[in-house]
Structure 1
Amino acid sequence: MRRRSLLLTVPAGLATLAACGDDKSDSSKASDSPSPSASGPSAAPSPKIVDGPLPQVTAGTEFDEKPTVAKGSGEPSKDLAVKTLIAGSGKTVAENDFVVANYLGQVWNTGKVFDNSYDRKARLAIQLTQGQIIDGWRYALAGRKAGSRVEMAVPPTWGYGTQGNAQAGIKGTDTLVFVVDIQDAFNATSSAKGKEVPQDNADLPKVGTNTDGKAPSIEVPKTAAPKKLVAEYVLEGDGEEVAAENSVLVQYKGVLWDGGKEFDSSYANKQLVSFSLQQVVKGWAQGLTGKKVGSRVLIVIPPELGYGDNPPQGSGIKKDSVLVFSVDILAKL
């Protein structure tokens, strides 16, 4: 089981951290609504993919517009039915990628919508990996391109199985219909792609500007650490600005000001991280608010906005440490 990000293990009372559940919670936005997240690894065989039958999308037919989908007619296929309704031209989605998407899900035979991200105005970021997402999504979305709208009908075998999903009102015999608008896809080698911003202040750490998916260097100066939060662009993207209530998908690396030792890194873990800005240390929440998607940001966090005198056990972080981060904002959710 992979190690959780230290950012999400803040001692109680020292940051705006909500309960995050188990290790899977890093890869999808916390929500009371059911999502396509899997309840555990599947032993189901690979499905045969067919092109129908599929219910008609009767309204909201444009990409990223909330769809209205007709009730299923007749018996659904026992195979996985998949159709690209709108063909995108972005990057091709691969197994193990993080997919950022809006989606709507409903039950075939009743037309009951059990979940949709459009009304929440919060896109989903979820990894196409066995045990993280239902198999129907894994097989249906792999090979599709960002910018595509995909409709699928998922039989129980590749959905929630014979146990169904009581929270969503899904029975173990229900075939599920999803419409998915693929916004983008990322993997462990994804980087920010913004415009380089001069790093002229010799009293601040200098961050590498490589965009090859490898961890950037962080050179900490041999000067006194700043007393206040620092959050400056290294690469400035041209995407949407991140708001305090948003969630983000990021790559990051963290080192100590004192000595420059690395203590945490998504690059080293080979795992992107997504989280709400209301679930992380205050320095991250404040430092990323207002920054643009596609950017690399230098954040220097004083102890009172980080871990203070109670750092996570086994982290290698001493009490009252100043923390230095390079953060690539890949997507706003």
Structure 2
Amino acid sequence: MRRRSLLIAVPAGLATLAACGDDKSDSSKASDSASPSASTSASAAPPPKIVDGPLPAITAGAKFGEKPTVAKGSGDPSKQLAVKTVIAGGGTTVAENDYVQAHYLGQVWATAKVFDNSYDRKAPLIIQLAQNSIIDGWRYALTGKKTGSRVEFSVPPTWGYGTEGNSQAGIKGTDTLVFVVDLQETFNAKSSAKGTNVAQNDADLPKVGTNTDGKAPSIDIPKADAPTKLVANYILEGDGDAVAATDSLLVQYKGVVWDTGKEFDSTYGRGQLASFSLEQVVKGWAQGLTGKKVGSRVLISIPPKLGYGDSPPSGSGIEKDSTLVFSVDILAKM
């Protein structure tokens, strides 16, 4: 059983934290129409055969990152997964279970009805290519592709929304779907912030490693009293968008106790990224990360009143009234 992050697995009713009753992340929230997210009714199917076509033509918006216009499907679509790399990128290869950041458009083969697209929202989708997070057609079509690529593919119901379809998106159980996806970025357990080093000159604050190899950075606690106020400093400053208090983030992080330097939680140790809303976590995280830029590594020192106070999670190894220290890599906004 996968270990839950201590950031959201918290005692119910604790004033500084939101109670969270399940282990679902925000990674499955595709949009208001939830189009590529996994169907709750479609049963698991064997892997499809990947074929070259047929696929309808892209008639406008042919450049990477432009909203495409796609022709109506001609004739019968493949009963397998038809996949074409329209633009071959030269970036990182996408693996199954990676999180991908992508713009996309989806329409119905037979009618060319567009049921969802991220281009009009001006916000790319970030979602995990994992079973039960996204329809299987996406997992199979995009695994092995490189970032910077535009991929067009058709998804029959077997690897889409099954025989029940998706009524919210106007998709029938017999509809084959056509997607055009522009793969911008991919993130996995080896991802790190890539910002510019910021001087760590305060000898009374922890010093955080600046490695960007996907391994956990060191956190060296000084022989000094813990700060009584929140500290949130850049270690690596990225150049992405500023984080808002209501944002959901995809992060790598490591947490240690100030008094002992002992690690109590880490995405690096689990080998899995974390995604959550800043409205779900301890106040020190929410306040410390708000305003920081995507792509950054941030040192956060959280006094007890903004952390777990006198009610730390059972079995966490955190004593009452502990100051907590985190290194947080802000990989993306969900």
- TM-score higher than 0.5: yes
Q: 1:59-208 to 2 correspondence within 5 Å?
A: 59-208=60-209
User: Is residue 2:317 matched to residue 1:316?
Assistant: yes
Q: Which residue in 2 is equivalent to 1:6? A: 6
Give distance in 2, aligned partners of 1:15 and 1:61: 49
Aligned-pair CA distance for 1:23: 2.7
Q: 1:211-290 to 2 correspondence within 5 Å?
A: 211-290=212-291
CA contact (8 A) 2:26 2:277 kept: no
Aligned-pair CA distance for 1:218: 1.1
Name which of structure 1's ranges 164-173 and 223-232 shifts more when overlaid on structure 2: 164-173
Structure 1 residues 45 and 55: alpha-carbon distance in aligned structure 2, compared to 1, 3 A threshold: same
Q: What is the identity, as a one-letter code, of the residue corresponding to 1:140?
A: A
Q: What is the identity, as a one-letter code, of the residue corresponding to 1:23?
A: D
Aligned-pair CA distance for 1:183: 1.1
Equivalent residue of 1:223, what SS? Answer: coil
CA contact (8 A) 1:243 1:289 kept: yes
Q: What is the identity, as a one-letter code, of the residue corresponding to 1:305?
A: L
Q: What is the identity, as a one-letter code, of the residue corresponding to 1:273?
A: A
CA contact (8 A) 2:96 2:130 kept: yes
Equivalent residue of 1:6, what SS? Answer: coil
Give distance in 2, aligned partners of 1:313 and 1:33: 38
Equivalent residue of 1:89, what SS? Answer: coil
Aligned-pair CA distance for 1:245: 3.7
Q: Which residue in 2 is equivalent to 1:210? A: 211
Name which of structure 1's ranges 322-331 and 6-15 shifts more when overlaid on structure 2: 6-15
Give distance in 2, aligned partners of 1:70 and 1:16: 49
Q: Which residue in 2 is equivalent to 1:38? A: 38
Q: Which runs of 5+ in 1 are unaligned?
A: none
Give distance in 2, aligned partners of 1:270 and 1:151: 31
Q: What is the identity, as a one-letter code, of the residue corresponding to 2:25?
A: S
CA contact (8 A) 1:26 1:273 kept: no
Structure 1 residues 78 and 286: alpha-carbon distance in aligned structure 2, compared to 1, 3 A threshold: same
Give distance in 1, aligned partners of 2:130 and 2:175: 23
Aligned-pair CA distance for 1:325: 0.5
Equivalent residue of 2:269, what SS? Answer: helix
CA contact (8 A) 2:108 2:177 kept: yes
Give distance in 2, aligned partners of 1:256 and 1:227: 14
CA contact (8 A) 1:250 1:328 kept: yes
Equivalent residue of 1:283, what SS? Answer: helix
| Cα offsets for 1:238-285 (capped at 9, x unmatched) | 333333343322110111122122121101111011223333222222
Aligned-pair CA distance for 1:116: 2.8
CA contact (8 A) 2:310 2:321 kept: yes
Structure 1 residues 125 and 2: alpha-carbon distance in aligned structure 2, compared to 1, 3 A threshold: farther
| Cα offsets for 1:29-65 (capped at 9, x unmatched) | 4855314233479642222222222233344433223
Q: 1:288-307 to 2 correspondence within 5 Å?
A: 288-307=289-308
Name which of structure 1's ranges 155-164 and 35-44 shifts more when overlaid on structure 2: 35-44
| Cα offsets for 1:199-234 (capped at 9, x unmatched) | 121111111222222111112223221122111111
CA contact (8 A) 2:30 2:126 kept: no
Q: Which residue in 2 is equivalent to 1:50? A: 51
Equivalent residue of 2:82, what SS? Answer: strand
Name which of structure 1's ranges 138-147 and 125-134 shifts more when overlaid on structure 2: 125-134
Equivalent residue of 2:83, what SS? Answer: strand
Please give the TM-score of this superposition, normalised by the length of structure 2: 0.88
Aligned-pair CA distance for 1:296: 1.2
Aligned-pair CA distance for 1:22: 4.1
Q: What is the identity, as a one-letter code, of the residue corresponding to 2:75?
A: G
Please give the TM-score of this superposition, normalised by the length of structure 1: 0.88
Aligned-pair CA distance for 1:91: 1.0
Name which of structure 1's ranges 4-13 and 226-235 shifts more when overlaid on structure 2: 4-13
Equivalent residue of 1:23, what SS? Answer: coil
Question: CA RMSD for the aligned pairs?
Answer: 2.6
Give distance in 2, aligned partners of 1:120 and 1:317: 42
Give distance in 1, aligned partners of 2:100 and 2:134: 11
Structure 1 residues 138 and 200: alpha-carbon distance in aligned structure 2, compared to 1, 3 A threshold: same
Equivalent residue of 2:25, what SS? Answer: helix
Give distance in 1, aligned partners of 2:187 and 2:235: 20
Aligned-pair CA distance for 1:12: 4.2
Identity rate, percent: 77
Give distance in 2, aligned partners of 1:232 and 1:7: 19
